[in-house]
Amino acid sequence: MATVAGGHVAEKRDHLQRCGWVNADPLYIAYHDEEWGVPVFDDQKLFELLILEGAQAGLSWYTILRKREHYRRAFDGFDVERVAAYGTEKVADLLSADSGIVRNRLKVAAAIRNAKAFLQVQDEFGSFADYLWQYVDGKPLVNHWASLAEVPASTALSERISKDLKRRGFNFVGPTIIYSYLQATGLVMDHVTSCFRYEQLRQ
């Protein structure tokens, strides 16, 4: 689940009740209102969110969200084939020249490795979406949490997917990262019941 350093709650300027992890930044509010928990079936966006979730490890999602446009430029719009083909020169550029991303060698290397593994999944299943959504029989799992305290950091499902992704060569795909990924891509709908998006997405 996305977290915010300091635990600030979004201001209810528009009188809409939101999940408590949202802060007052319009960028973060838009992400919560328009993206988080919405089912994603597009492979390019699934790849983008996979890379961003991996980059989040040890950081807050808010930090990564603010860097999202920099990531899009640095990683060629998250074109998976281009990222898979990155060589040492491109890696050096990412680590030395682009301050808009998390300049962590392991995370950059993982993005490239994950792109290659992503392509292999596409070859085997036809699309990464088909591979991922099979775990929930093509339909989002809708939870009914009354408070953020009830929302788990990982589940048996995220552990199962994490294990299989690691077997396929993916990195930075531990159960907690994958559960956050499932929330972000809408395989799991974890808006709390008091959030205005809960009623909209629970169908």
The CATH number assigned to the domain holding 148 equals 1.10.340.30
- Concerning whether 53 is annotated as a catalytic residue, the answer is yes
- pLDDT tens-digit readout, 79-102: 999 999 999 999 999 998 667 899
pLDDT score recorded for residue 113: 98
| Per annotation, catalytic residue among 21, 28, 36, 61 | 61
Closest among 109, 6, 108 to 60, alpha carbons compared = 6
| Per annotation, catalytic residue among 28, 31, 145, 198 | 31
pLDDT score recorded for residue 98: 63
Hey, which residues does 189 pair with through a beta bridge? 142
pLDDT score recorded for residue 45: 98
Instruction: Let me know if residue 3 belongs to a domain.
Output: no
pLDDT score recorded for residue 99: 72
Q: Are 51 and 111 in contact (CB under 8 A)?
A: yes
Instruction: Let me know if residue 7 belongs to a domain.
Output: no
86 alpha carbon, distance to own chain's centre: 22
- Concerning whether 150 is annotated as a catalytic residue, the answer is no
SS3 142: strand
Tokens of 44: 């390019």
Instruction: Let me know if residue 113 belongs to a domain.
Output: yes
Query: From residue 177, how far is each of 24, 61, 155, 161 by CA, in Å?
Result: 24, 11, 11, 11
> Which structural domain, as residue segments, surrounds residue 197?
26-201
Instruction: Let me know if residue 68 belongs to a domain.
Output: yes
- Concerning whether 61 is annotated as a catalytic residue, the answer is yes
Q: How many Cα atoms occupy the beta-carbon half-sphere of 142 within 13 Å?
A: 10
Instruction: Let me know if residue 64 belongs to a domain.
Output: yes
Instruction: Let me know if residue 20 belongs to a domain.
Output: no
Burial zone of 193 (CB within 10 Å; 0-12 exposed, 13-18 middle, 19+ buried)? middle
Instruction: Let me know if residue 145 belongs to a domain.
Output: yes
Instruction: Let me know if residue 133 belongs to a domain.
Output: yes
CA distance 107 to 102: 8
SS3 143: coil
| pLDDT < 50 positions in the chain | 2-12
| Cα angle 59-33-140, degrees, rounded to a multiple of 5 | 85
CA distance 110 to 54: 8
If one counts the domains in the chain, the total is 1
**What is the pTM (predicted TM-score) of this model?**
0.91
pLDDT score recorded for residue 14: 72
pLDDT score recorded for residue 13: 52
pLDDT score recorded for residue 74: 93
Specify the DSSP element, H or E, that contains 90.
Answer: helix 88-96
SS3 44: helix
pLDDT score recorded for residue 11: 43
